[in-house]
C-alpha cells in the first residue's frame, strides 16, 4: 500500500505542477491518438528524423516475423498460479482492492488455475 506521506509529497511535487502547467498551456496535452501510436510508428519516426537510427542487427530483429505464440496468445495469469500459496496470495491481493468486479475476475482466474493445475480449493 502507498504511504500517505509519499503520496502527498508526490501530489505536491509532481502531479500538482504538471496539472498547473497543463492548465496554463492546454496545447501541451497529447491526444488519445498520439497515445495509441504503435512501437513501429515510433521507431519509424525516430529513424526518419535521425534521432535514433537502429544498428542493422537490431533493425533485423525488429523486422523479423514472430516465431512463437508471443504475439498471438494473450497473457493468462492462471498459467502462473501453480500452487495453493500463489492462489491464496493472488486472491488476497484482489480482496484488498475492495473492487467487486476485480474480485470476481480474480475468482474466475483462480478457478481456471485450479482446473488447469489440479489444485484443491
**Domain-located, residue 57:** yes
**22-44 pLDDT tens trace:** 888 888 887 777 777 777 787 78
pLDDT at residue 42 in the model: 79
Total domains in the fold of the chain: 2
Residues 66 and 18 reside in one and the same domain = yes
Q: How far apart are CA 39 and CA 42, in angstroms?
A: 5
Which pLDDT belongs to residue 29? Answer: 81
Q: Is residue 4 part of a domain?
A: no
Q: Is the pLDDT of residue 114 over 90?
A: yes
| Res. 100: pLDDT tops 80 | yes
Could you tell me if residue 1 is inside a domain?
A: no
Q: Which domain holds residue 104?
A: 77-117
Which residues 6+ apart lie within 8 Å of 43 measured at CB?
Answer: 52, 54, 62
3-state secondary structure of 92: helix
Is residue 43 situated within a structural domain? yes
Q: What integer best gives the mean pLDDT of the chain?
A: 82
Amino acid at each position: 500500500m502507498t504511504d500517505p506521506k509519499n503520496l502527498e509529497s508526490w501530489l505536491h511535487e509532481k502531479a500538482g505542477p504538471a496539472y498547473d502547467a497543463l492548465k496554463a498551456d492546454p496545447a501541451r496535452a497529447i491526444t488519445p491518438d498520439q497515445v495509441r501510436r504503435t512501437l513501429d510508428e515510433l521507431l519509424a519516426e525516430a529513424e526518419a528524423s535521425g534521432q535514433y537510427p537502429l544498428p542493422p542487427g537490431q533493425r533485423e530483429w525488429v523486422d523479423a516475423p514472430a516465431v512463437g505464440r508471443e504475439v498471438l496468445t494473450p497473457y493468462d495469469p492462471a498459467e502462473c498460479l501453480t500452487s495453493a500459496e500463489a492462489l491464496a496470495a493472488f486472491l488476497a491481493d484482489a480482496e484488498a482492492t475492495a473492487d467487486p468486479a476485480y474480485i470476481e475476475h480474480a475468482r474466475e482466474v483462480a478457478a481456471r488455475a485450479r482446473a488447469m493445475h489440479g489444485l484443491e480449493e
